Amino acid sequence: MGEVRTADPRLRVNLCGVDMDNPVIPASGTFGYGYEFAELYDINILGTFSFKGTTREPRFGNPTPRIAECPAGMINAVGLQNPGVERVIGEELPKLKEIFHKPVMANVSGFSVAEYAETCALLDREPQVGWLEVNISCPNVHGGGMSFGTDPAQAAAVTRAVKAVTTKPVILKLSPNVTDIAGMARACEEAGADGISLINTLQGMRIDLRTRKPVLANVMGGVSGPCVFPVALRMVWQVCRAVRIPVIGMGGITRAEDVLEMMMAGAAAVEVGAANLTDPLACRKIIEELPRVMDRYGIKNLAELKQ
């Protein structure tokens, strides 16, 4: 930590008009506000990161147990635990500014169209916020989140409301728990979205054979990790061919090769989620490995993958 690194120009990308040193973005909910990771490495090597999902009011989250392992991944029902937007602005962002010197991505959730708009409007005023990632895809809360992300009309309504009160790029985070992911993306684009990110977690559950009850208190949760990568890649491919706005691909990315696959599918950048929980150095390793893997496949720079 503390070393000065020169960004490799081969890795540079542009996301909704904002230049980034590389396309690697730790996903919301897996990186907190960056402090714990900043103790392990210089997080300024990241393209950016999406901080913990923020709602208007503080949320304790769902009852425990709310995280469990599953083959090649994990299942969670954390339920958007966060201190609320006022404390994020008053306490978290000032501390973040001390350790991270790039624009950061603000991830926002809500339980009504008005709440999404109000929270986004507050975060839009913050100088360090470069993008607003609007989460209409959380499967682990009742009465909000994914209920907006499975209905194109509702998704469009959130998009329009947020765009009306913000100036920074608005990226809609979509749920894979739909029959027509391309249609959802088009609805957001037509309502004014500047970008799309996908996929959020797939709905799933586990049962404890000893107790014969679900392992999560919430019964169902979101499945993530390497097991979902082929599904995520397929949906990113479909959305990139359905819209003209930039797409962030995520879902099961654990290595540099996965980043290149996502970008070959059309993604402008990627987010890394569950991998951060199994290896806190995952994003650093991916960034360091990218040039070598690009050389192996004859890729001169990442820009050439975005046709």
Q: Could you list the active site residues?
A: 138
Over the chain, what HEC string results?
A: CCCCCCCCHHHCEEECCEEECCCEEECCCCCCCCHHHHCCCCHHHCCCCECCCECCCCECCCCCCCEEEECCEEEECCCCCECCHHHHHHHHHHHHHHHCCCCEEEEECCCCHHHHHHHHHHHHCCCCEEEEEEECCCCCCCCCCHHHHCCHHHHHHHHHHHHHCCCCCEEEECCCCCCCHHHHHHHHHHCCCCEEEECCCEEECCEECCCCEECCCCCCEEEECHHHHHHHHHHHHHHHCCCCCCEEEECCCCCHHHHHHHHHCCCCEEEECCHHHHCCCHHHHHHHHHHHHHHHCCCCCHHHHCC
